């Protein structure tokens, strides 16, 4: 089996490994012939580790590993008001003993209390982060860097993370996850035609692509559905970040545009804005499996996967793996649209 050695990179363990791979037997029984003989499995990164889990923890293992190695006492990051990355950064820094500051923009046009004060936003405060709320058009990273400079002037050692933790260092988390998936599939005696995930800040997909490419596997095995940027920009971001991650790993292998398997058709009118197919997917998973998809990321991505399966994209008898990336607290910020 291909392997990838990332041991030289500092890592702060946050994820209970390996996260399980489970078949969706209840959904299969419910949908029957609509699945065209395709089996869907899920990898449960939504239940990983601390802070109610999620894919950002894999990135934070390497980001906080680097921060601790540099002697940092404070971590600062950015995101939207309902950012899963911000919530998990707050949880992980609390565990690591670092101070945490979050710069959160009002990037989704909602002002209701469910959105501005519940879900992830509630947990940011509970985990003890200092939160700075900014208008939707603000340059949150510039504001974060200015705050970091001010803290450094006071003698603090500050480490800043980009949106979603999707730097090359953060992407190592999903390069490592690619090795975990390959090991699990071998142990389970499975072969997956596709590994499917959501694409927000591009780091999860880019990490998978980099990990697969570094192990001489087909990077197109990983496919994402864009939920933040429109397809051309999302595709370019995955490509850039995958190659930057490969360079960090130290391999000469690089990927090209043809290696990026990405679909932007299920994004809807914009980031964080519900779609009818997302609502169907979230309710279907909950009512047939008792598992929770979030309305911003995995709900739209799973809607895309169901569309592809029903459209006959995958041959009968094949198996597809859906990466459940978490985001469960966001459900409570979308109470009104999910009720019913």
Beta-strand pair 21-23/39-44? antiparallel
Stated length of the chain: 340
Distance of CA 158 to the CA centre of its chain: 24
Q: Is 83 a residue of the active site?
A: yes
**8 A C-beta contact, residue 193 and residue 309:** no
Task: Using CA atoms of 217, 223, 228, 229 in order, give the dihedral in degrees to the nearest 10.
Answer: 70
Q: What angle do CA 8, 12, 15 make, to 5 degrees?
A: 115
Of the residues 83, 140, 166, 224, only one is catalytic, namely: 83
What is the C-alpha separation between 39 and 153, in angstroms, rounded?
56
Name, in order, each residue with C-beta under 8 angstroms of 310's C-beta and a sequence gap of 6 or more: 34, 35, 36
What is the C-alpha separation between 326 and 61, in angstroms, rounded?
16
What is the C-alpha separation between 82 and 147, in angstroms, rounded?
21
Q: Give catalytic residues, as residue numbers.
A: 83
């Amino acid at each position: 089996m291909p392997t990838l050695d990332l041991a030289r990179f500092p890592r702060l363990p946050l994820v209970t490994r390996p996260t399980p791979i489970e078949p969706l037997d209840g959904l299969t029984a419910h949908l029957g012939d609509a699945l065209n003989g395709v089996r869907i499995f899920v990898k449960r990164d939504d239940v990983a580790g601390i802070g109610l889990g999620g894919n950002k923890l894999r990135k934070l293992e390497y980001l906080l590993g680097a921060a601790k190695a540099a002697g940092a006492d404070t971590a600062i990051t950015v995101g939207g008001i309902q950012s899963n990355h911000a919530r998990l950064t707050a949880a992980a820094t609390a565990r690591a003993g670092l101070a945490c500051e979050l710069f959160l923009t009002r990037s989704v046009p909602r002002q209701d209390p469910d959105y501005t004060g519940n879900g992830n936003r509630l947990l940011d405060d509970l985990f003890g982060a200092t939160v700075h709320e900014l208008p939707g058009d603000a340059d949150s990273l510039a504001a974060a860097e200015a705050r970091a400079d001010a803290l450094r002037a006071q003698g603090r050692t500050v480490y800043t993370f980009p949106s979603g933790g999707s730097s090359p260092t953060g992407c190592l988390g999903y390069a490592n996850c690619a090795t975990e998936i390959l090991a699990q599939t071998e142990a389970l005696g499975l072969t997956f035609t596709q590994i499917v995930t959501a694409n927000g800040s591009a780091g999860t997909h880019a990490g998978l692509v980099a990990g697969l490419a570094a192990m001489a596997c087909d990077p197109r095995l990983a496919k994402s559905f864009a939920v933040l940027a429109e397809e051309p920009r999302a595709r370019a971001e995955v490509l850039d970040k995958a190659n930057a991650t490969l360079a960090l790993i130290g391999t000469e292998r690089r990927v090209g545009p043809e290696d990026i398997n990405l679909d932007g058709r299920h994004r809807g009118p914009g980031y964080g804005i519900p779609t009818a197919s997302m609502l169907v997917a979230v309710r279907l998973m909950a009512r047939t499996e008792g598992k929770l998809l979030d309305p911003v990321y995995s709900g739209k991505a799973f809607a895309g996967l169901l569309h592809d399966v029903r459209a006959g994209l995958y041959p009968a008898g094949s198996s597809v793996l859906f990466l459940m990336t978490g985001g469960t607290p966001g459900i409570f910020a979308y109470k009104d649209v999910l009720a019913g």
